[in-house]
Amino acid sequence: MTVSARGDGPSVVAVGGGHGQAATLRAIRRYAAEVTAVVSVADDGGSSGRLRRQFGIVPPGDLRMCLVALAEEGSPLARAFEHRFDSIDATGDATRGLGSGSAPPGGAVGHALGNLVLAGLVWATGDLQAAIDEAGRLLGTVGHVVPAAAEPVVLKAESDAGWIEGQTAVRHTGRIRRVALVPGDPPAPARAVDALGQADQVVLGPGSLYTSVLAAAMVPGITRAVADTTARVVYVANLRPEAAETGGYDVAAHVTALLDHGVRVDMVVADLAGIALGAVPVPVVERDLARPNGLAHDPARLAAVLRSLVG
């Protein structure tokens, strides 16, 4: 598997999950020599949740998105990894995007192809990290993808409604006071800890504060490694609050939640077009970071500011 994006760049580690972390990786690969994604394994919904429950494996969806973000540009296989079988014909076969007579069994409906490939590779290799590495080799990735924990974890949150359990349920919960993991001290892979220890820059977010960023960063071994690294830890703020999970939050509330959970933040990068700043307790770099549609971070713009903050 290719491990270098740019031979003269820094070593950068991105911590989080979901589409936000994938956007960060698309930015980081533009300036980093070594890229490592440390990825949440708390997902319990959709395709990932089904595979997790059926086979007892780490949910593969966030890992898949990171692999695709780091894949060889223009890769047809990377596009195929994102293909989701999402319709059925009268016989119960998944059919979308497939020619007549070539549909997989109806049990594939709702699954992304890459999730199924990762599940199959876990079975074939008998090892999660070996499966991820093999998928990365097939995709021609320019970095490493490593789970934040070596086993699936359950995310739970304390809110006005009491304790809510499961990432999907937490995502739809407001007024969250704190989150926790079950088990409380899942082992962090040595590769993740080592990458953080050797990093020149650590990037948290963007992404769902509790269900993506903290779901990865509060694994105790990851929290300690982020605290101990000599690298600058940069938090990329979301472009806007999320309706339930962080409804009413400004940037300061996001940062305070990270700090209250013991996660180090040295600096914040924020686009304030859609979110208020508030009294952020660490230095803030304000930039226009959104794509033209305003819905996601632009990789080139994010890369430019992150590159300037290395060191």
Q: Could you write out the three-class secondary structure of the chain? A: CCCECCCCCCEEEEEECHHHHHHHHHHHCCCCCEEEEEECCCCCCHHHHHHHHHHCCCCCHHHHHHHHHCCCCCCHHHHHHHCECCCECCCCCECCCCCCCCCCCHHHCCCEHHHHHHHHHHHHHCCHHHHHHHHHHHHCCCCEEEECCCCCCEEEEEECCEEEECHHHHHCCCCEEEEEEECCCCCCCHHHHHHHHHCCEEEECCCCHHHHHHHHHCCHHHHHHHHHCCCEEEEECCCCCCCCCCCCCCHHHHHHHHHHCCCCCCEEEECCCCCCCCCCCCCEEECCCECCCCCCECHHHHHHHHHHCCC
Give the per-residue pLDDT at 13: 98
Query: In which order are the strands placed within the sheet that holds 162-165?
Result: 162-165, 154-159, 176-182
Q: Domain for residue 226, yes or no?
A: yes
Q: Domain for residue 38, yes or no?
A: yes
Q: Residue 27: pLDDT band by 50, 70, 90 thresholds?
A: very high
Q: Give mean pLDDT, residues 187-195.
A: 98
- Residue 65, CA atoms < 13 Å, CB-side half-sphere: 22
Q: Domain for residue 225, yes or no?
A: yes
Domain that holds residue 280: 11-308
- pLDDT of 275 above 80: yes
Q: Domain for residue 258, yes or no?
A: yes
CA distance 164 to 147: 24
| Token pair recorded at residue 11 | 């070593």
Q: Domain for residue 5, yes or no?
A: no
Give the per-residue pLDDT at 5: 54
User: Cis (ω within 30 of 0) for the bond into 206?
Assistant: yes
Q: Domain for residue 199, yes or no?
A: yes
Q: Residue 7: pLDDT band by 50, 70, 90 thresholds?
A: low
Picking from 170, 264, 257, 259, the residue whose alpha carbon sits closest to that of residue 222 is 264
**Residue found by looking up tokens 């949150």 in the block:** 157
pLDDT above 90 as % of the chain = 88
- pLDDT of 87 above 60: no
Give the per-residue pLDDT at 109: 81
pTM assigned to the model: 0.91
CA distance 21 to 38: 9
pLDDT tens digits for range 89-139: 434 444 444 433 343 344 778 899 999 999 999 999 999 999 999 999 999
Q: Give mean pLDDT, residues 34-48.
A: 96
Q: Domain for residue 302, yes or no?
A: yes
The mean of the pLDDT values for the chain is: 92
**Residue found by looking up tokens 């080139």 in the block:** 300
The domain tally of the chain equals: 1
- pLDDT of 244 above 70: yes
Residue 292, classified by CB atoms within 10 Å of its CB into exposed (0-12), middle (13-18) or buried (19+), is exposed
CATH number, domain of 49, equals 3.40.50.10680
Do residues 234 and 203 lie in contact, with contact meaning Cβ atoms separated by under 8 Å? yes
Q: Residue 6: pLDDT band by 50, 70, 90 thresholds?
A: low
Q: Domain for residue 42, yes or no?
A: yes
Pairing type for strands 154-159 and 162-165 reads antiparallel
